[in-house]
Amino acid sequence: MEYFFQQLINGVTLGSIYGLIAIGYTMVYGIIGMINFAHGDIFMVGAFIALILIVALGITAATPLLLLILALVLVLVLAMALTAIWGWTVERVAYRPLRGSFRLAPLITAIGASIALQNFVQISQGARNKPLQPLISGGFSLSDSVSGGEGFAVQISYMQILIIVVTVLLMAGFTLLINKTSLGRAQRACEQDRKMASLLGINVDRTISLTFVMGASLAAVAGLMFLLYYGVIDFYIGFLAGVKAFTAAVLGGIGSLPGAMLGGLLIGLIETFWSGYFSLEYKDVAAFSILAIVLIFMPEGLLGRPEVEKV
């Protein structure tokens, strides 16, 4: 039972990270109906930017707690801003010129952008993986059965709490942003009918750009969390994380923000339980199979609306 709870905590943590990335996919798909294939690599760039900032600011585990928190907040904000520029640039260069072109064109430039980003980072930052000393260690022990000799102590680390709290806060913030602000209203309008929205005076290009900026900055948060949680990144992490987050977005119902979060949690849990109880080697197969199964049997996802194909 303890093992189960431990896996549950780990799964929720991993799921939060996937959920943050999945929001980027789901927002972009909702608004322009394309799979932003390069989003996983934007997440990877975000992780690298966070790593560079942490090393450049000289943050270590020895930094006093208050300073550490301030510095991490600074890293978070800077990484979000700088990654947002990457997201904006990819949209501006690779997707915007192709708006109104045939459907597969932006998907192909997205693949090109993904390959270019990966290799750019490989060249500029080196192909070796980058280990980072853990900054936040320690945690609570939720059960004391370890003293009995037999059992297995359920641990929840401060890092996991941090990830879950930050994710919940950001989710709440973004839900507010989408539901209450004029920007969110513009986004929802573009999602429903782009032409009508532009007739009503909404700057559609700007709204789409801002969607990419928001998605990229959330991916940067996920990147920072990933970096702090696993402590090692390389230029290739974006591909798998991207596919899994996309699966999460599809599972939750693409275009739906709560769906993305729910899907992320489910994928995180499934992956952790799969590797905890079945086999570690095939955990990626599990994620890919879920993607295929969901798309085939339930393409509208858990919380999405079924898409009607119009002539």
Partner 1 sequence: MAAEKDTLLAGSVKDAGMGGLVAFGLFSLMIGMKTEVDIGGLAIEYRWGAVATAVAVVFFGRLLLNLFVWKSERPVTGVVSGLMPKASAFSSVAHLVTPLLFVLAVTLPFLLMYWLGARGSRQYLDLAILVTTYVMLGWGLNIVVGLAGLLDLGYVAFYAVGAYSYALLAQYFGFSFWICLPLAGILSAFWGIILGFPVLRLRGDYLAIVTLAFGEIIRVVLLNWYEFTGGPDGISGIPRPSFFGLEFTRGEGGFAAFFGLDYNSIHRIIFLYYLILLLAMVTNFVTMRLRKLPVGRAWEALREDEIACRSLGINTTNTKLTAFALGAMFGGFAGSFFATRQGFISPESFTFIESAVILAIVVLGGLGSQIGVVIAAVVMIGGFEFFREFEEYRMLVFGLLMVVIMVWKPRGLISTRTPSITLSKGKAKGISADLVQEGHG
Q: Which residues bind partner 1 (CB under 8 A)?
A: 34-35, 45, 48-49, 51-53, 55-56, 60, 82, 85-86, 88-89, 93-94, 97-98, 101-105, 107-109, 111-126, 128, 130-133, 239, 243, 246, 250, 281-282, 284-285, 288-289, 291-292, 295-296, 299, 309, 311
CA 106/CA 38 separation, integer angstroms = 11
Nearer to partner 1, 122 or 175 (CB): 122
Nearer to partner 1, 243 or 269 (CB): 243
Nearer to partner 1, 189 or 213 (CB): 213
CA 207/CA 205 separation, integer angstroms = 5
Min dist CB 72 to partner 1, Å, is: 16
Nearer to partner 1, 9 or 121 (CB): 121
> How far lies 218's CA from each of 52, 78, 171, 211, 301, in Å?
18, 12, 10, 11, 22
Min dist CB 117 to partner 1, Å, is: 8
Min dist CB 107 to partner 1, Å, is: 5
Nearer to partner 1, 34 or 241 (CB): 34
Quickly list H helices, the chain.
2-32, 39-56, 65-90, 104-125, 158-180, 182-192, 194-199, 204-230, 237-252, 257-273, 283-297
Min dist CB 185 to partner 1, Å, is: 27
The radius of gyration computed from the CA coordinates of the chain, to the nearest angstrom, equals: 20
DSSP state of 236: T
Question: Angle at the Cα of 300 (from 296 to 305), degrees rounded to 5?
Answer: 160
Min dist CB 146 to partner 1, Å, is: 31
Tokens of 117: 């980003």
Are residues 35 and 246 in contact, defined by beta-carbon separation less than 8 angstroms?
yes
Min dist CB 128 to partner 1, Å, is: 6
Nearer to partner 1, 53 or 171 (CB): 53
